[in-house]
A and B are shown apart, each in its own frame.
Chain A
Amino acid sequence: MQNNKINDSNILKWLVKFAKPYISWLLISFVAMAIVAYFELLIPLKLKEIVDSIISGVATKAQIKETSIKVFFYILGVFLFSSLFSYILNISGQKIMKEIRDEIFNHVLKLPQSFFDQQSVGRITTRVTNDVNALNEFYTNVLVQFLKDFFVIVGVMYVMFTFNYDLSLIIICITFAITFFAFLYRKRLRRVYTKLRLTISQLNSFISESVRGIALIKLYNKSGHNFSRFEKLSNENYQANLDQMYTFAIFRPFIEFMSVFSTAVIVWFGGREVLLGTLSLGELLAVLFFLRMIFRPILDLADKYNILQSALAASENIYKIISTEKDKFGDKKFNPDFKKIVFKNIFFAYKDEDWVLSDFNLEIDNGDSILLLGSTGSGKTTILNLLLGFYKPQRGEILIDGVNLNEFDIDSIRDNFSVVMQDTPLFNITPDEQNSNNNFQVKSVGEKQIKNIEYMLEKPFHVIILDEATSNLDLDLEKNVKTYLNNIKAKTSLVIAHRLNLIRDKDRIIVLKNGKLIESGTHSELINNMNEYSKIFAFNKQFYLG
């Protein structure tokens, strides 16, 4: 995927790929369209026939009856086949969009955590929802009808050439001029649409973030201020919309002008040829008629071209996501009876070379009960992030019984771990339940923490990780959790906390400072070391005992 460059032909290939399963549908709709075109052509012919015979006075009631019945069936045919055409095309459009939506979403779920650090939630959401919708017209309007318009133009040109060479040449020149112009316009069109899609995703992100932070905005009396920030984005969207309007307000009238201009040119040249006697008046009329026939699909194509550019702008964003590489792991299954997890000379930075962990080493034995200590920002949570495969260390390796973490099926690891993270959104219930329970601000963080822990303990697990999962609980509850953890045997636990009071002597304490492990051992071992831990302990003692 990585070497798939983001260019139009790749994007188009990707878009067409989704249409492939519906190729027979598209073919049927194409045939239906051809039938409609055929009937539509027959109606004026029949009309002309009857008018001619009425004018020449040879028409009979029987003939009129017959023709009108025929016309009625043609009209009915047009109705039936164009309904069929529209039905099939639109339904397959919806089906294709669903496929695309699901594929992108599935892909997003498997992307590495760093992807989510670079994109806001609102933006990714927009890709999956609004941007996919922008592709609909590509399938319903462009893919099939492009073909039809193209055939019509080529067909009319062919017939025209058999009529008159010179005039046809003029029309071809004009058609090429328009195509060239449209090609030049492509960049501008695309820029306009890219900008438009960007502003839409910005608006979505801003609304999403504002709603999430609405309590704070209200409490800090910032709605007016926040509104002016929104207005800025709203203005950008307005400007992009105006740009799009201006672009089309020039593009469309220009092409329509070319249609009148060609008529003038043909009238002038053709008229001269008629005078010279190289062209009959009837032929001139026919060429003018063909000109009208050619400009309808050309104008149509101009519209489709517009839709195509809009779809390409939308799919470029989507394609970027699709070509972002998924997390790569192996397929080795995690064995719950593992012996040892080893962090070996780990260097890790979220960004550039801001090392959060540097030359970090740690060994975890099965059944260990580990307490990670260290001031905030010392890298405790990062250790969990690496162990759970959210990020990969830049240097060093994590080994489970001697096998690199990357060779494991990461899902099998996560299956066996129970993790409660810092400020986890309440998650242990289905979304619908969550909404009804989501009493704004009523459920305190402590209550959420209790629910999350309860849920995690229900899951069959072998390793439990609590990342400040009890920090907002009252001490009674925290003690219950700790007692529970102490009572479950043969499970490995990894707890990040700041308070020392509930430590037991079987707990192995790991002290971190600036991304390095500086001390490790039990309370009674460390307390006499007169190192970092004894300092922390003295502090706690003073703080708690007053």
Chain B
Amino acid sequence: MKVTTHFLIINIMKRKTLYSLLTSHKKNIFFGIVGLTMVDMMQLLVPILVGKVIDILASSQSDSYVLSDLNKYAFYLIICGIIMAIFRFVWRFFLLGTSRKIEKNLRDNYFSRVQNLNVNSFQNHSPGDLMARGVNDIETIKMACGFGIVVAYDGIVLLTFIFISMFLISPIFTLYASGPFIIMSLLILKYGDIIERLFTNVQNSFSNLTEEARRIIYSIRVIKSLNNQDEQSNLFKKKSIHYESMNINLIKIWAGYQPLITFLSGLSIFVFIFFGSNMVLEGQLSIGDFSALMVYLTMLSWPVVAMGLAVDWLKRGNACLSRVDKIMTQETESDETGLVKIEEIDKISFDNVSFAQASNNILSNINFNIKRGSSLGITGRTGAGKTTLINLLLKYSQSDNININDIPINNIDKNSIRKKIVYVPQNPVIFSGTLAENVSFFEENPDKNKIIECLRISGFINDLEKMKSGLNEIVGERGVSLSGGQRQRVSIARAIYQNPEMIVLDDTLSSLDVDTELQILRNIKDAFKEKFLIVISSRVSTIFLFDEIIVLDSGEIVQRGSSKSLEKQDGLFKDLLAIQRILPGALDAK
């Protein structure tokens, strides 16, 4: 069920803004704002209550009367404190809770989008980059959607409140005092844009830093064996320095930002003393109004700071959101759910298939058919285009003239093809998890017997017996290191577990000794005798006993047939076979 919903989400992916993120949680934000307003109001009430007490104490009423009032107001104060505590909880719950919800949803969307990105996107975006955007940037967006909103609201409400009150007392004076504020707003906006730009640089640099660390840690064994630690450490240092300098660039501008805002709002105090006092002296302003204005001016300091913070956080959030958006709006693999789905494969044909990449011909004029129950071997030199051939069949790369059951594959849903044709890549990937999880590809309730059967076919059963925790042995990045041959066999078992109609092994037996290789080939041939089997190998021996063999050279089929017939022809097959048949010691004879 989850599978279908997340595919729905990703098909409608517009550029997101902080505003669009927030408006999808209107209700919660509304309640949060109500809570915040209540707290603001209560906060104004406290000094009024304290003032009352002072008034009473200053008045000359009877002690018992004053005492009962004292009790009353102390009680009110405590009630006031309790209400404030409750509403403080309320706004945190709604506003900050929502920001976390936004963070989670955005991250989930982001990840599902990343998974469906076009293959080419992974050339421009390294794993480290995708990590940084998906975790670090989205955290900053959370801050913007949480405290960013809180301070923005607080600032706006209090500023409006204070200015209106001041305006009611003296419109002219308010006009003077708002001069610095107009300059300030312009400055804040200008500053905001600079902060956004510089913060984007910081985050981009963080992406590079993350990737550098990840890359080096990932290849640690090679680095050590090359004794290359110092050089790598310097490469990392370079990124570290770059990140530092991007941060410092931001600080150079930003360090003066908040003080400047405070300075400008402080100017209004200067204006107050300079103009306000003169206005009193000239009789334009009463003394009472004058002291009232002063109270309001001193109240200004927090909302001004709040506005500055709000712009800072929101702009940083914006910078991060743009970076996340950049990934989210990238082209994904085309949605093919509307295309034909194949249930069973009867026949596959390549009719004059050619394929070029960056104007290099990789494959040209490829023709062949595969029928059910037959085994096909593909061989040729390193780089002859063997893997590309399969990539086309799996719609990993786009090409015409390939048909499954006489339907052009461009009309077939790629997922339905990949469900039926399972490919085992050259480089076996083992995920962090148990052996069972790796074979079943993290299925929720995997069939244990099936896993064991698959491991038997892939010749892993002896290795399994040696493992202390059996199927529950942790493998992958954080577990026992499997040898190259073991990884290959686990990945074959994983392919068989998928119940494919066709299995494609791409040089997947290379790290195995002849004995094991032969055993596995026998098992797989047996398991797929009524299905399809393709084995790609740079070694002729592996596919020697296959029904049909295709020999590729520089992207063209140069020979085809059974090994019996190819053995007799002059050609690449015979040459490759000859080298293979050089027995131990034979080279010395020359």
Contacts and interface: CB of A to CB of B under 8 A. Distances in A.
Given A257-B82, A475-B538, A61 B53 contact: no
Nearest to A56: B287
B511 A422 contact: yes
Given A87-B255, A121-B477, A245-B96, A109 B216 contact: yes
B93 A249 contact: yes
Interface string B196-237: 000000000010011011111111111111110100110111
A68 B274 contact: yes
B214 A125 contact: yes
A396 interface: no
A54 B288 CA distance: 11
Contacts of A78: 259, 262-263, 266
Contact of A501 (B63, B281, B481, B584): B584
A253 interface: yes
B582 A502 contact: yes
Contact of B582 (A267, A350, A501): A501
A427 B511 contact: no
Interface in A208-256: 208-231, 234-235, 237-238, 241-242, 245-246, 248-250, 252-254, 256
B568 interface: no
Number of chain A interface residues as a range: 35 or more
Given A54-B277, A203-B107, A207-B130, A414 B115 contact: no
A139 to B, nearest CB: 13
B291 A55 contact: yes
Interface in B406-423: 415, 418-419, 422-423
Contact of A264 (B81, B235, B540, B580): B81
A424 interface: yes
Interface in A522-537: 523-524, 527, 536-537
A13 B111 CA distance: 39
B131 A238 contact: no
A419 to B, nearest CB: 4
Give chain B's interface secondary structure class: helix
Contacts of A284: 54, 57
A350 to B, nearest CB: 6
Interface in B307-321: none
Contact of A504 (B75, B357, B588): B588
Give chain A's interface secondary structure class: helix
A62 to B, nearest CB: 11
Interface string A386-417: 00101000000000000000000001001101
Interface string A186-214: 00000000000000100111011111111
A424 B229 contact: no
Contacts of A72: 267, 270
Contact of B135 (A203, A223, A261, A417): A203
Nearest to B422: A220
A117 interface: yes
B519 to A, nearest CB: 11
Given A227-B112, A267-B53, A211 B130 contact: yes
B41 interface: no
Contacts of B415: 221
B259 A86 contact: yes
Interface in A7-51: 43-44, 46-47, 50-51
Contacts of B212: 431
19 contacts: A51-B290, A54-B290, A65-B274, A75-B263, A80-B259, A87-B256, A91-B255, A121-B217, A211-B130, A231-B108, A267-B73, A414-B227, A446-B507, A459-B226, A468-B511, A471-B511, A498-B513, A505-B584, A546-B544
Top 7 closest A-B pairs, CB basis? A376-B485, A224-B3, A260-B81, A446-B382, A79-B263, A503-B584, A87-B255
Given A82-B262, A116-B220, A121-B218, 5 more contacts: A54-B287, A214-B115, A235-B104, A422-B511, A423-B427
